[in-house]
A and B are shown apart, each in its own frame.
Chain A
Amino acid sequence: DTGVSQDPRHKITKRGQNVTFRCDPISEHNRLYWYRQTLGQGPEFLTYFQNEAQLEKSRLLSDRFSAERPKGSFSTLEIQRTEQGDSAMYLCASSRLSGNTEAFFGQGTRLTVV
């Protein structure tokens, strides 16, 4: 599968612990997005990168969340001091800068905070 890949697929962590997720976008895609999805809801925007630059962050994003894309390729999303309310599916998507700008999603990382 040469699409967007995310790791891990599932993560169970205790409240208060830190977690980090990884996203590998499609190689020629400059844009990378992180979304959060809870049951019965649509994907909720978290943050957006164009190459290595983080251009947008959701106003709803707690300061416990941080994301990086150091070389403009893979990205990591870290959640510090996890809370039960952080339990969700974290989706990564990538797209081209121009031409066909369809966003392709990864399989997601399902986080459960106990």
Chain B
Amino acid sequence: GENVEQHPSTLSVQEGDSAVIKCTYSDSASNYFPWYKQELGKRPQLIIDIRSNVGEKKDQRIAVTLNKTAKHFSLHITETQPEDSAVYFCAETGGSYIPTFGRGTSLIVHP
């Protein structure tokens, strides 16, 4: 991977609303796109991932979409809950097998 841009840097929503975080990448060889959640003082943990042969993947309230032509992918969280509050990182991995991370999005879910 080379460069990953992530937006927004901060996202504030009301409980029950949806949250969308977007990332763009530049490496055409990228083929694996994980999303990590990092709670304060804890390690990043994988919440969902998608490979380049798939356009969308869903796991309960979390979904990820990938547009390889446009080189962007997005995380969608529906029916947000206060425990979803954390920093979320997108990442991409290409031929080098080295995950390259975005700068993170701080999600705040207000009860």
User: Count of B residues near A, CB < 8 Å?
Assistant: 22
Q: Is the CB of A43 within 8 A of B34?
A: no
User: Would you call B97 and A48 a contact (CB within 8 A)?
Assistant: yes
Q: Report, as a range, how many residues of chain A touch the other chain.
A: 20 to 34
A41-B98 contact given A102-B34, A103-B34, CB 8 Å threshold: no
Interfacial residues of chain A within 15-67, with CB under 8 A of chain B in the complex: 31, 33, 35, 40-45, 48, 50, 56
* Interface pair A108/B43, CB less than 8 Å apart: yes
- Against A, the Cβ 8 Å flags (1 = close, 0 = not) of B1-33 are 000001000000000000000000000000010
What are 27 sample pairs from A and B whose C-beta atoms fall under 8 A apart?
A31-B97, A33-B98, A35-B101, A40-B103, A40-B104, A42-B6, A42-B101, A42-B103, A43-B89, A45-B99, A45-B100, A48-B97, A50-B97, A56-B96, A91-B44, A101-B32, A101-B93, A101-B97, A102-B46, A102-B49, A103-B46, A104-B46, A105-B43, A105-B44, A105-B45, A106-B43, A108-B43
